[in-house]
Amino acid sequence: MVDAVVVRATGGAEVLELTQVDPPEPGPGDLLVEVAAAGVNYIDTYHRRGIYPKDLPFVPGNEGAGVVRAVGTEVEGVDTGDVVAWADVAGSYAQQVVVPARSAYPVPEGVGAEVAAAAMLQGLTAHYLVTSTYSVKPGDTVLVHAAAGGVGLLLVQAAKARGGRVIGTVSTAEKEELAREAGADEVIRYTEKDFADEVARITDGTGVAAVYDGVGKDTFDRSLSCLAPRGMLALFGASSGAVPPVDPQRLNAAGSVFLTRPTLAHHIATPEEFRWRCDELFAAISADRLRVRIGGRYPLAEARRAHEDLEGRRTTGKLLLLPG
């Protein structure tokens, strides 16, 4: 038997229960991996609450890194003992997980398993947002909400690396410092000031080329009003709650702007695209051009506390669960 966190009924963080389950069985195209670190992501809280429904019971978690213990009969190019990382693979809050070989990326030498686990899902998200959703160009000014969060810190760095000028929003002084360290040119404490007014002031009324909004309900309306004509609102999450239905006429009124609601799975759907994004992500980490902040490490048994901290807005950077 192996340790795993199980959700038997959806609800608050208290439904995360450490238990023992049968070891998972890899199929012919799969790897069986001993989890060194599992990433905690906001989407795990949506699954736990039932906002994105899943069949019950389930083991939460979509990301991690660890050592390959068994290789399916049809898998080529991966051996037992290799260290791999994955994103968008269910059941990662566990000692062992089955990872389809096409979703496993070999962790480069010199990058530890914890950093790899911390970088995958949020790093690939930051990558697709700045390359594919709105491709940041030198001279663009973009707005990044929750800039000291897991995605936020990586997104700030990724937009800066492409020559953008970045305005970040955060709730506290500590988070402001982290967003500035990541390269944000301007940081707004959106819990104290109206961020749309501040963006208008900073951009001399021009507005921004893109808003990357993972906060959702509390920021959406004013995010729209921050855009320059023909700007892009990339609504990629809902940490404050879901955005109500939107009348398309509002996009006209805001200046012929674009609204998109992208998700990672559609940006790593082919092995080629997955590999391209991972190659660029890990090359940046290896060259120290992208810094991954691990803001909290929790034993697997304390998944509940990790979720409470994340939803309580008390965290920065990435949270990891360590099966130990």
Contact between 220 and ligand NDP by CB under 6 A: the answer reads no
- Kindly identify the residues of this chain, within the stretch 17-76, that bind ligand NDP according to CB under 6 A: 41-43
Query: What is each CA distance from 282 to 20, 107, 159, 162, in whole angstroms?
Result: 34, 8, 16, 16
**b/e code 278-302 from CB counts within 10 Å (16+ = b):** bebbbebbeeeebbbbbbbebebbb
Q: Show the binding pattern over residues 93-132: x = contacts ligand NDP (CB under 6 A), - = does not.
A: ----------------------------xx--x-------
Contact between 170 and ligand NDP by CB under 6 A: the answer reads yes
Task: Give dist(CA 158, CA 294) in Å, integer.
Answer: 17
Interface residue with ligand NDP, options 238, 300, 320, 321 (CB under 6 A)? 238
* End-to-end Cα distance, the chain: 15
Contact between 237 and ligand NDP by CB under 6 A: the answer reads yes
CB 1 within 8 A of CB 21: yes
Contact between 157 and ligand NDP by CB under 6 A: the answer reads no
Contact between 308 and ligand NDP by CB under 6 A: the answer reads no
Q: How far is the CB of 241 from ligand NDP (least distance, A)?
A: 7
The nearer residue to ligand NDP, 121 or 300, going by C-beta atoms, is 121
**b/e code 56-72 from CB counts within 10 Å (16+ = b):** eebbbbbbbbbebebbb
Interface residue with ligand NDP, options 93, 195, 236, 298 (CB under 6 A)? 236
Chain positions contacting ligand NDP, by CB under 6 A: 41-43, 121-122, 125, 146, 148-152, 170-171, 175, 214-215, 218, 236-240, 262-264, 310-311, 313, 315
